[in-house]
Structures are given as C-alpha cells and as structure tokens.
Structure 1
Amino acid sequence: MSRNAAVADRLDEMADRLEATGVEYKPRAYRQAADNIRGHTVAIETLAQEGVESVKQIDRIGDAIAQKVIEYIDTGDIEELTELREELPIDIEAITRVEGVGPKTAADLYEALGVEDLDDLEAAAEAGEIQAVSGFGATTEQNILDGIPFARESHQRELLGDARPLADRLLASLRELDAVEAADTAGSLRRWRPTVGDVDVLAASDDGTQVIEAFTDFDGEVIEAGTSKASLRVDGLRVDLRVVVTEEWGSALQYFTGSRDHNIVVRNRALDRGLKVNEYGVFDVSEVDDPDAGQRVGERVAGDTEVSMYEALELPHIPPELREDRGEIDAAANGELPTLVEEGDLRGDLHLHTDASDGQASVAGMIQGAADRGYDYLAITDHATGPGMVGGVGVDDDALLDLAETVREAASDADLRVFTGVEANIGEDGSVSVADDVLAELDCVVASPHAALDGDGTDRLVAAVEHPEVNILGHPTGRLLNRREGLDFDMERIAEAAVVSDTALEINANPSRLDLRGGYVKQAIEAGATIVVNTDAHQPSSLELARFGVHTARRGWAETDDVLNTRDADGVADFLGL
C-alpha cells in the first residue's frame, strides 16, 4: 500500500519546524514537495527503491529532499526531523490547527510559556498568560481560545483526500483475491463526505478467514483480527474491514453505508409495509408477532444486491452521496431523484495556476496536462496580487496582461481552447483586487476570498458576485478542512445574486477545501444558480482531483446541466460573455 501520504506528512512537518526556527525559503520547498508526493500516482516506496533519480522525477524534488524520502522509506525516520523535534519539543501539528497559530507563533509560545500541546495552549489562554507575551494581546488570546475546540474536533477526522486513495489501493488488492466476490467502501467514505472517521471497507466472500489473512498481510499495524472483521492502522489512518457472505452483500453494503439518519427513514418505511430491514436483508414480518425479536425473522425477500434492498421498499436505487436524510427518500418515492453528474461529464477546468504565480508548471505544461485528460478547454487563472496570497506570490495588473498574451500564444498550438483569466482576491469590503479595465481584457475572472476568513461574509461575497467582470465565485467560504472553518454566509442570498448576475459558484475540488460543501450546492441549485467544478490545480497531476469535486456536486444533488464545465467550449464561452 502506498506510503505517499505518510511521507508527505513528514515533509510538511519538516516545513513547519523549519519555519518555526526562522529558516527561510526551505519551508516552501518542503511543502511543495509534500503536495507533489501526496498527489503523485506512483507509490513513493517504489520510486525510493529505484533510487534518488527516480524520486527526483516528481516535480520540485531535488537531491536533498529525495535523500530524506529514501531515508524515511528505509528507516521509518528522518534524522534531521528528529533533531528538529528535539530542538522544539511541541506537538506542532496540533497547535497549528488552531486558527491564527502558525509555526512561528507556536515556537514563540513555547519559548515564553512552555506551551507543548493543545492542553498547554488552552490552559495558558484561560489563565490570561498569552496576552502578556510580547506581540500578543487580549484579542489574539481570545481568538486562540475560541479556535481550540475546532482544532480538537478536526484531529478526530481524516481528509477524504487522504482516506480515499488508501481505500482505492486496498480495494484493488482485495478484488484480486479469488476468494473475494465483491469489495467496496462503506460509511461516510462511500458517501464521499469531506472528512471521515476511518476507512471502512466491505468484502463479500464465503471464505472470510482467507480474506482476513490476506488483509492483515498488507503494510500496516494490525489492531485486531477475527474471522470476519479486522482493523489495521496504515500511515496513521484506521482501516476497518468487514467480510460478509456473498448472499448478504447487498444488504450489508446498504446498511453499513448509512447514514444513520437515512437508514432510520428506510427502516420506518419498511415497517409501514410489514417488512424489516437490517444488515442481513429485507424480511417479510407481516405475519410475525414481534418483528424486532431476533435478526432473521420472517421470509427474506431481498438482500443479494443493494438495488434489491430499495426495490423491496418500492424505491429506485438511491446513490450513496444522497443518503443523508435530506429528502432523498421522498424524492425517490415520487420519481424525482436527480440524474447525478458523473466524473466523465466534465469537459474542462476553469481555475488553474502556473509558475507565473504559485503554480509548479508552465502555461504550456498546464495546457498539455488538460489535453492529456481529454479536456476540450481550460482557463489559466493565476493569482493576482493581494492579501492572503501564499508567500506573497501574485501577478500585478500589468503582468496579468502580459501573461494573457503568453497564454494566447501557447494556445495557438494547442488542440483545445484556452481561456485567459485570473484569480483575484475579494477584499473585506467586497472589492476585487484587479482593476476593472484589466479584468475586461481577460476571458475568465475567478474572485475568491483569501484573507479575513471569519465572521459573516454574505455582503462581501454578494458584492463580488455582482461585479460585472466576475464570472466565478471561487472557494466561497475559504475554509481549509481540519484547519479553519472559513466564512459564514447566507447561501440563499448569494445564490440569488449569482442567478441575476450569471456568476457561477465554484466547488473547489481540492480535498483540503471541497468548498462549496454539498448542502450549499443543493441550496444553490434549488435557487437556479450555476455550479462549476474546478480543481484549483497548481500542477498537471492535480487535475485528477476533479473527482472529489464531482462527488461533492453529487452530494448537492447536481445534475449535468447544473454544472458549467460539463458544457462544450462554445457553451462555456457563451456563459463567459465571449
């Protein structure tokens, strides 16, 4: 099983600890390397076995980082990281989950107050000790205190973007076993929730012992193993496998996918029809005195397949992404389930970055990456200057016009349509950080919030949506999963403004964002707004993240016609007013 996520986590920690000690430049290099390894399609241990030159094939990885990658794969440790931990013995990953506490702040609080973990940080804030430290104040202290509960909660959830690739690799291995008839994810992972508690996997087999033995041979720490259940810890993630007999595959898959609220409604619908639903199937209990007695009472009428489970309740199959008790049962009963957008429906991406700002590939490289995916079009939307830009990297107004010309020249030799563009910052007052006359020269303008990402952002975002040159509202909340909650806002107001202004609302498919979230997408679609699924890719390999955005769109009940970039190039150009 790939160790890409584990290696990337170590490099991210290296970056944080180097930054905490005042080292310049290196932290950014380590973070870029971590991002590239995390998104790389080849298992990092395979490259490490081949040597330094193979590891260096990954973008932005040189000799020094490649050596550290190999050191970790070979020994399970990085000597320099161990030394940095000894130099600054704090739980830097936990502390920096608190909004507003970066690596340097964490180091300052350790030096001044001996803060080593979240408990220490909370105690210091409650005692009023932080505001007494030079450079801090009462407001900062209160903000830290307010952010600690979120930091604690986020630690208990894993990003879908980390859990899903691990699950995919595990499923591929299980499906190769002769003893396995079927295998799939379950739980919140199968419903594509943005964060998950653990990785739930289900397998159908009439030889559970053989499957469990094969499962526990995978890389990872065995937590427990029985005859039909086993758990591993792989790269910090808990993986739970349950093996069921083949004839109960459908019922187990439906039951363990959830959600709990969805299953309660399903169970009550069954009871109204004299049926009982559980993980073993659907049973006719109309002639049974006590249908709750035992688990297999009455005649079994469904359960071999998941489709049969819903058919027994006079329902069509309900896609896993919809199973959150948000009206999907009534919609199914009334023949009103949406025909959800699918991964293959996307025909382009309208939010991409190059090395003109903070991307890691040239304009030509990003165009080629989109062409390799079979896309019909893309938009180059490098960051403008403004607050919130990572490392202060951004393109000023004059350079944006020069960049647009570069894009047009590169597009002249491309087999797909290339739109010029920009990702501008939305100020606290709703202003857009690029002059109107410059925006007017570009094809596709994405406006996104990057700073002051707390409180109510409704007025600010509505103002940006209504700007006559803005085509797309990018990652509207500005959230970073498990790191910051982002803006609150009135989705109904924003969606209504988007409809009037013909502004698309973005689902940012980066697994650290998945913004808009599914519930907001559903509200936007009900208001008649147009959704766009973008990757915000900073390198060609990140275009593969589109699937996370598509499944988020599906969680919001989005159909193909709801999504801008399922249209052809002419349709997108028409939307952009070209």
Structure 2
Amino acid sequence: MSRTDEVANRLEEFADLLEADGVEYKPNVYRRAAESVREHTRPIEDLAAEGEEAVATIDGVGDAISAKIVEYIDTGEIEELESLREDLPVDIAALTRVEGVGPKTVGTLFEELGVTSLDDLAAAAEAGRIREVKGFGPKTEQNVRENVAFAREAQARERLGDARPLAEDALRYLRGLNAVDAVEIAGSIRRWRDTTGDVDVLVASAEGPEVIDAFVEWPAATDTIEAGDSKASVRAGGMRVDLRVVVSDEFGAALQYFTGSKDHNVALRNRAIARDLKMNEYGVFDVSGVDDPDAGQRVGERVAGGTEASMYDALGLPAIPPELREGTGEIEAAAAGELPDLVAVEAVCGDLHTHTEWSDGGHSIAEMVTAAAARGDDYYAVTDHATGPGMVGSVGLTDDDLREQAAAVDHARGDLGDITLLHGVETNIDAEGDLSTGDDLLETLDVVVASPHAALGQDRETATDRLVRAVEHPSVDILGHPTGRLITEREGLTPDIERVATAAADAGTALEINADPARLDLRGELVRVAVDVGATVVVDTDAHTPGALECVRYGVHTARRGWCVAGDLLNARGVEGLRSFLH
C-alpha cells in the first residue's frame, strides 16, 4: 500500500505542533502540502525514490518540505518533527478532537498546566484549573467537560474514509493469491457506516494456512497481532485488520453474518427459528426433524450458505443491500416486497458544491471543471466560500469578489465542451439564520449553498430555528452540511431534522449529503428522516481538489443508508431537471 497517507499525516502533525508552538503562517503551508500530497496521482514513495526535485513537483510542496518527505521515506522519521515532539510531548491528535480545542489551545494548556493527554485535560477541567489560565474562562472549561467523552469515543473509531481504502488495498492483495477463491470486505465498512472499530476481511479458500501466511506478509502490514490456521490480525495504517478464511460452501453465510449489524442478524435468526431453520455463520440448516437443534453449529441439513442471496432466499426474502442491514425495518420491508431500489453511484450527473483557488481550494476553475468532465459529469457548480461567520482570514469572497468571479466563470464556459458550468456560492448561515452574502447578489447566481460554519454548539431548538430560517430564504437552493459535524472531531449541531426537512420540502430547498469522508453530513439516519417527509437531497463532494471529486461514492452510499432512491436525489436529474428545481 502506498505511504502517501502516512506522509500526509506526518505533515499535518507537523502543522499542528508548529501552531501549538505559536509559529505563524508555516502551519498552513504544511497543511496545504499535506492535502496536495494526499491528492497526488503518484505514490509518494515513488517520487521520493527519484529525489527531492521530483517531490517538489507536487503543488504546494517546496524545497524544505520535499527534503523532509524524502528524509521520512528513507529513515522513517523527520528529525525536526521529532524535535517538536520532544518540546511539546502532547497527544495532539486526541486533544484537538475535543470541540473548541485547537493546536494553539493545546500549546497554552501544556505550557500553563502540563496537559499532555485527554486524561490530563479532563482532570484540569474537573478541577476548575482551565478557567484560571489567561484567555480562558468558565465557558471554555465547560466546553471541555461536555466534549471530552465524545473525543474519547472518537479516538476508538476510525473514519470510513480512512478505513475503506485500506480495506480495498487488502482486497487487491488477497485477490492476487492463487489460493483465494473469493474475498470481500465485511463488517461496518461494508455497510458504509461512517466510522469503524477495525477492518474485517473475509476469504473463501480451501488452503487457509497458505492464505494466512501470505496475509501476514501483506506489504501494508506493519506488525502481526495474531495468526492461526484460519484467522489472523495485523496492524496496518495504524488500524487493526482482521482476516477470516472459510471454505467456499460457507462463504455466503459468513459474509452475511459478519456484515449485518447485531440487530439485523438477531431478527434474521428469529425469522429462521419460526420456520424450523437454524441460521448462523456456517449456513442455514433445516432442523425440523432434529431433536436438539442447539447441539452444534452445523446441525441439520444445510439448505443455504454458499452465497449471501441463498441465505436470504432460504428465509423467503430478497437479498437486502448491505447499507440497510441495521435492524431498522429492512427485514419487514423485504418480506413485504417494499425494499427501495437504492440509488447507484452511476446515477449522479454532477456536483453542486465545490471550491477553487478563489477561496480555499487548491486549483483553478479550469482544472476543477476539466476533472469533473473527465469523470463524465453533465454539470458542475463552482461554489467558493463567501466571507462570514466561520471563515478565517482571507478565505471567503466578498460580494464584489463574487461578481468578479462570475466573469471568470463565464469566460471559462467557452472552453468546456459539453459540461454545463454553473456559478454559485457557499454562503454562511450566521447564528440567527441570516446569510453572509447580499440578497441582490444571491438572486443572480445559478446555485446558492448555505452552510453553518460557526456557532455549532447551539441547543436543539435554536439550531432548528436557525436552519429553518435559512432553508426558507428564497435564494437558497441547498442547505450545505446541515449539522456542521466533523467525524471523530466534533459533533456539530443536533437540530430537529424532521422539522428542518419539512421546511426544506415546502420551500423547494435540497438538503446536502456532504460526501467529504470527514463529514458525511447528513448522516444516513438523518437522510432517511428527510426522505420520509418528502425532502429532496443532494450528494455533493465539497471538493477542494480534483481528486476529492472521487469521494462522491461515500455520499451515495450514505444516501443508500438513508433508503434513498434516484428520485430523491437532486443531482440524479439531468440538466433540465436541475434547472427546473433551481429556478
């Protein structure tokens, strides 16, 4: 597996430690470099092998950073980063997961109170010591108390966007083994849940020990946790990856068992029992003539197990898509013939929320649109950040900037071929629900995305009122990342989504499923609420680089977790259908 993410993570840690140490400007340079490294098409180790000049060809990576990257690939560490770690021996990743605690806060609390870990931070808050630090106060201390628990939970989970690529690398490696008959991801990753505890992979093979021996030699594995004849666990990319090998006749049974949630599987087993069947990870067995069905795992005549479809068919059900296997009515819907025809990635016709170098993106309008056209999109919207609450420094565009950008977008249209280019904005929703862009300008734009970026700790009622006011604004087309959450970092708003979605449906405003793997906002459970009240949803990538356009799949699978069909999705419509909705 490429070491690209590993290097990018080190650069991000570098940035955080520099900021915690009070260094200005350089942290953002390292963050931009990390993003560019992550999005580059070639593995970073291949470029490093060619030398510092090759690494420096990456956008945003100068001579100093390229030297550090080569140093890391060659030696496994960066001397300057190690020095920063010694000067600031803090768990920067864990501490900054606490909402409102950024690198500068970490640096101050280390300097004043010796805080190095979540335990230290929680203890300082409970003892009332944080409020005594200059620049802090009771509100900051209370915020820490309320959010440490979330940070602890987040520390034990990995984002889908980090775990899924690792799982897919394991699949590619295992599929190349002659002894492997079939291989698939299992567990919550296969259900496309937004976080996971570990990575589960299932293999069908008659040569279990041979597969296990090869698995522990997987290039991405950094160490072996355990290994037997049919099971093994390794550490890769900082995550635990578990492999289980079964015979082909039981592969479908095992895949079903290790994919479904506990509630889903219990409900299926109860359905089996009612039919004189026994269902487990080895298959479905007819136990109608068996005196003691619990005598063993493979008691009775096997009637299913080779495929997942056979497992469901044995219970009189159609195969249930993995995204729905959460025990929330999917079995009843399947039994009644009412499972939705879930939307597919291929149904998406375009992207309505993206960024360019005009705000905080890393690429030009032409570069972003060219990448979208290469993906086969029919339309593409440039929606750079407006100034306003939550925007730092010069990131956001003023109304005059947006008028100037409109001319640039219009100029770009002349060289695009068949793709339709729209000009819009991501305007900011303030704490009361007002927008940061002038109404007269909003009326002239093709598409308006309104998003909350600040005041994300509001109570439920205030947050709901705020978002309802935004979706009812006559110029707002899309409510962007409605809760403002960042997975494993901050919970974001907790509004009454049913009320917000009902208002959006009435106003003709779409609710966004932000496909950025750090957001996936709305999450699947809330998407289902929105769809149930008749709201339109839209999957947007919020891409800041061309590579991020590929994250659309995370958004679509989140939509599927919300029981979405193509008719629910705004950007599953063609250009004319889109224009009809927008206007």
TM-score by length of 2: 0.97
Corresponding residue SS for 2:61: coil
Q: Which residue of 522, 527, 530 maps to 2:533? A: 527
**Matched residue count:** 577
Unaligned runs of 5+ in 1: none
Q: Distance in 1 between matches of 2:402 and 2:100?
A: 31
Aligned to 2:331: 329
Give the letter for the 1:487 counterpart: L
Q: Is 2:554 the counterpart of 1:548? A: yes
- Once the two structures are superposed, residues 296-335 of structure 1 have per-residue CA deviations (whole angstroms, 9 ceiling, x without a partner) of 0000000000110000000001000000011100110111
Give the letter for the 2:73 counterpart: I
Aligned to 1:140: 140
Q: Is the 8 A contact 2:347 2:566 kept in 1?
A: yes
Q: Is 2:56 the counterpart of 1:56? A: yes
Q: Percent identity?
A: 63
Q: Is 2:239 the counterpart of 1:237? A: yes
Q: Distance in 1 between matches of 2:54 and 2:173?
A: 24
C-alpha distance 390-292 of structure 1, shift in aligned 2 (>3 A): farther
Q: Distance in 2 between matches of 1:202 and 1:295?
A: 19
Q: Which residue of 569, 578, 581 maps to 1:575? A: 581
Aligned to 2:266: 264
How far the C-alpha of 1:69 sits from its partner, in A, is 1.7
How far the C-alpha of 1:559 sits from its partner, in A, is 0.8
How far the C-alpha of 1:570 sits from its partner, in A, is 1.4
Q: Distance in 2 between matches of 1:40 and 1:199?
A: 25
How far the C-alpha of 1:248 sits from its partner, in A, is 0.8
Q: Is the 8 A contact 1:445 1:471 kept in 2?
A: yes
Q: Which residue of 399, 417, 426 maps to 2:420? A: 417
- Once the two structures are superposed, residues 1-49 of structure 1 have per-residue CA deviations (whole angstroms, 9 ceiling, x without a partner) of 1222221211111000111112122111211222233344433222322
Q: Distance in 1 between matches of 2:72 and 2:40?
A: 17
Q: Is 2:440 the counterpart of 1:437? A: yes
Q: Is the 8 A contact 2:173 2:218 kept in 1?
A: no
How far the C-alpha of 1:390 sits from its partner, in A, is 4.4
Give the letter for the 1:193 counterpart: R
Q: Which residue of 396, 399, 403 maps to 2:398? A: 396
Aligned to 1:273: 275
C-alpha distance 286-100 of structure 1, shift in aligned 2 (>3 A): same
How far the C-alpha of 1:392 sits from its partner, in A, is 4.4
Corresponding residue SS for 1:507: strand
Structure 2 counterparts to residues 10-159 of structure 1, below 5 A: 10-159=10-159
Corresponding residue SS for 2:353: strand
Structure 2 counterparts to residues 275-290 of structure 1, below 5 A: 275-290=277-292
Give the letter for the 1:550 counterpart: V
Q: Is the 8 A contact 1:477 1:515 kept in 2?
A: yes
Aligned to 1:364: 366
Q: Is the 8 A contact 1:347 1:376 kept in 2?
A: yes
Q: Distance in 1 between matches of 2:309 and 2:65?
A: 49
Q: Is 2:562 the counterpart of 1:560? A: no
Q: Distance in 1 between matches of 2:321 and 2:363?
A: 37
Give the letter for the 1:448 counterpart: S
Q: Is 2:301 the counterpart of 1:299? A: yes
Aligned to 1:167: 167
Corresponding residue SS for 1:412: helix
How far the C-alpha of 1:145 sits from its partner, in A, is 1.3
- Once the two structures are superposed, residues 376-417 of structure 1 have per-residue CA deviations (whole angstroms, 9 ceiling, x without a partner) of 110000000012124441100011111011111101221210
- Once the two structures are superposed, residues 163-210 of structure 1 have per-residue CA deviations (whole angstroms, 9 ceiling, x without a partner) of 111111110111111111111111001000001001111111111111
Q: Is the 8 A contact 1:478 1:486 kept in 2?
A: yes
Q: Distance in 2 between matches of 1:412 and 1:19?
A: 43
Q: Distance in 2 between matches of 1:12 and 1:432?
A: 32
Q: Distance in 2 between matches of 1:390 and 1:340?
A: 39
Unaligned runs of 5+ in 2: none
Point out the more displaced range, 504-513 or 397-406: 397-406
C-alpha distance 453-144 of structure 1, shift in aligned 2 (>3 A): same
Corresponding residue SS for 2:578: helix
Aligned to 1:406: 408
Q: Is the 8 A contact 2:166 2:237 kept in 1?
A: no
- Once the two structures are superposed, residues 469-527 of structure 1 have per-residue CA deviations (whole angstroms, 9 ceiling, x without a partner) of 00000000000011100001111111111111110100000000000000111111111
Q: Which residue of 479, 485, 489 maps to 1:473? A: 479
Point out the more displaced range, 45-54 or 507-516: 45-54
Q: Is the 8 A contact 2:39 2:545 kept in 1?
A: no
C-alpha distance 264-41 of structure 1, shift in aligned 2 (>3 A): farther
The ranges of structure 1 where at least 4 consecutive aligned residues each deviate by more than 4 angstroms after the TM superposition are: none
- Once the two structures are superposed, residues 347-392 of structure 1 have per-residue CA deviations (whole angstroms, 9 ceiling, x without a partner) of 1000010000000001111111111111111000000001212444
Corresponding residue SS for 1:361: coil
Corresponding residue SS for 1:409: helix
Give the letter for the 1:282 counterpart: V
Q: Distance in 1 between matches of 2:154 and 2:36?
A: 23
Q: Distance in 1 between matches of 2:347 and 2:52?
A: 39
Give the letter for the 2:114 counterpart: G
Q: Is 2:524 the counterpart of 1:518? A: yes
Q: Distance in 1 between matches of 2:331 and 2:278?
A: 17
Q: Distance in 2 between matches of 1:40 and 1:341?
A: 30
Give the letter for the 2:26 counterpart: K
C-alpha distance 310-135 of structure 1, shift in aligned 2 (>3 A): same
Aligned to 2:254: 252
**Alignment RMSD, CA only?**
1.1
Q: Distance in 2 between matches of 1:346 and 1:130?
A: 48
Q: Is 2:209 the counterpart of 1:209? A: yes
Q: Distance in 2 between matches of 1:41 and 1:523?
A: 38
